[in-house]
């Protein structure tokens, strides 16, 4: 999207929300939030000098100043604070202005895009995950590596530790998540303009524009370069445009939701003449069918060779497909899913990186806002990393059992 198109889009959005509007005399301040505590047990093939147990917790607080004008226009802001980092620093993953009315909804600021925030979270397409904590599709992935991230190497023996799942091309395209996350997430929830239309005959359309996915809040970054020279891939993109739609219908006792979206953008260069990072091109399709307490859903996400450096010979597609089922009865929920992910791994050597994930989970609501959950995941990961006598094989099988308490208010 060029500068003229961007200015025109901003003007169009301003026109949508303009008009006489006598607001109420004050804003209402809405507070909500959630927290969890979790303990995990891990058994895996590459477990040299790794603990089998750990625990973690997180707290989020959402603050929404909200006003409503006499003409029906709702407007305000949304800020979500998180106490989640190992450093104990507080950060945010939402911080935007919004307005809603007969024209639809507009968001301006730090927010996920239309496909994730509107089609998946708000309208419930894709695999159902009520047995997982607060919409975290890839919650178990952090337990596969030695320290919540990519596969490591034991400093004492040189052996691979953990599975080769996090990090690499897949995570670069889905920051800060993994390919288990069934959204178009390459915009990284950075500062953007988002629009979602009203629903007409079951159909809702929308889209977003993100100037660059490595710039949020008050940051100003006008550089056309920024990727690391000679890197195998980049996750930095500029002028990211997303368009999508979702459709909801009811056939007697059966409810169905469909969604699809496309995201494209220009890869940030490195300034090195030999580098040629592929531009962003991603698409997704999802569905969910519900019948009384049963639900079945799935997604297919494909980024092609987005972000990969064409100076290397072994680029390949990055994709995932996943399917899940769930049953809810009173305070109880049972769910299961299968997820397949694939990316090129090391683009400077032949082969690819794959994972097959099998997941089951259960939940029980103790009281309003208070839940208990139990989850099991098996990760079968295959890597194209080198196998040596010293390192052993990077391939791994990981069993993860998680028990948690959740609070939502």
The pLDDT of residue 188:
86
Place of tokens 């006792």: 253
Mean pLDDT of 38-45: 98
pLDDT at 6 over 70: no
Query: Tokens for 315?
Result: 């680029």
Q: CB neighbours of 201 closer than 8 A, spacing ≥ 6? A: none
Instruction: Express each pLDDT in 94-149 by its tens digit.
Output: 999 999 999 999 999 999 999 999 999 999 999 999 999 999 999 999 999 999 99
Mean pLDDT of 149-162: 95
- Say if CB 242 and CB 283 are below 8 A apart: no
N-to-C CA span, the chain = 40
Mean pLDDT of 260-275: 97
Q: H or E segment at 13? A: helix 3-17
- Using a 10 angstrom Cβ sphere, with 0-12 exposed, 13-18 middle and 19 or more buried, the burial of residue 259 is buried
CA 74 to chain centroid? 27
The pLDDT of residue 7:
47
Instruction: Express each pLDDT in 290-303 by its tens digit.
Output: 999 999 999 999 99
- Say if CB 292 and CB 322 are below 8 A apart: no
pLDDT at 11 over 70: no
Place of tokens 């407007």: 75
pTM (predicted TM-score): 0.92
Secondary structure letter of residue 140 according to DSSP: G
The pLDDT of residue 74:
96
Residue 49 to residue 160: CA distance in whole angstroms: 10
- Say if CB 246 and CB 119 are below 8 A apart: yes
pLDDT at 398 over 70: yes
The pLDDT of residue 26:
85
Q: Nearest to residue 393, comparing CAs of 83, 48, 17?
A: 48
Instruction: Express each pLDDT in 302-348 by its tens digit.
Output: 999 999 999 999 999 999 999 999 999 999 999 999 999 999 999 99
Instruction: Express each pLDDT in 13-22 by its tens digit.
Output: 545 555 555 5
- In DSSP notation, 350-380 reads S--EEEEEEEEEEEEEEETTEEEEEEEEEEE
Instruction: Express each pLDDT in 162-174 by its tens digit.
Output: 999 999 999 999 9
pLDDT at 407 over 70: yes
The pLDDT of residue 10:
53
The pLDDT of residue 1:
52
3-state secondary structure labels for all residues of 168-195: HHHHHHCCCCCCCCCCCCCCCCCEEEEE
């Amino acid at each position: 999207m060029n500068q003229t198109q961007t200015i025109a889009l901003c003007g169009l959005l301003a026109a949508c929300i303009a008009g006489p509007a006598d607001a109420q005399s004050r804003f209402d301040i809405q507070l909500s939030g959630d927290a969890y505590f979790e303990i995990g047990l891990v058994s895996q093939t590459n477990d040299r000098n790794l603990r089998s147990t750990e625990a973690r917790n997180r707290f989020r607080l959402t603050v929404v100043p909200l006003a409503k004008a006499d003409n029906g226009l709702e407007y305000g802001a949304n800020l979500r604070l998180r106490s989640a980092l190992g450093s104990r620093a507080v950060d945010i993953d939402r911080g935007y202005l919004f307005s809603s009315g007969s024209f639809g909804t507009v968001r301006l600021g730090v927010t996920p895009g239309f496909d994730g925030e509107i089609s998946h979270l708000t309208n419930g397409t894709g695999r159902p995950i009520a047995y997982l904590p607060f919409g975290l599709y890839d919650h178990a992935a952090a337990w596969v590596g030695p320290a919540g991230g990519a596969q490591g190497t034991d400093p004492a023996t040189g052996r691979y530790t953990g599975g080769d799942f996090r990090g690499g091309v897949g995570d670069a395209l889905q920051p800060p998540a993994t390919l288990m996350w069934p959204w178009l997430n390459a915009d990284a929830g950075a500062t953007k303009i988002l629009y979602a239309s009203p629903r007409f005959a079951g159909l809702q359309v929308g889209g977003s524009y993100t100037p660059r996915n490595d710039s949020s809040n008050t940051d100003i970054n006008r550089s056309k370069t920024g990727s690391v020279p000679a890197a195998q891939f980049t996750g930095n993109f500029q002028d990211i445009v997303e368009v999508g739609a979702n459709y909801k219908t009811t056939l007697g006792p059966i409810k169905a939701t469909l969604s699809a979206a496309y995201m494209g953008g220009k890869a940030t260069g490195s300034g090195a003449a030999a580098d040629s990072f592929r531009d962003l091109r991603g698409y997704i399709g999802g569905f969910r069918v519900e019948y009384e307490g049963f639900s079945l859903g799935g997604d297919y996400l494909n980024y092609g060779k987005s972000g990969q450096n064409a100076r290397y010979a072994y680029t390949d597609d990055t994709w995932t497909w996943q399917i899940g089922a769930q049953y809810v009865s009173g305070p109880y929920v049972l769910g299961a899913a299968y997820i397949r992910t694939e990316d090129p791994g090391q683009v400077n050597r032949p082969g690819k990186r794959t994972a097959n994930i099998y997941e089951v989970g259960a939940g029980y609501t103790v009281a309003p806002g208070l839940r208990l959950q139990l989850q099991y995941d098996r990760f079968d990961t295959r890597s194209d990393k080198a196998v040596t006598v010293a390192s052993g094989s990077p391939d791994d099988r990981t069993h993860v059992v998680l028990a948690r308490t959740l609070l939502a208010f």
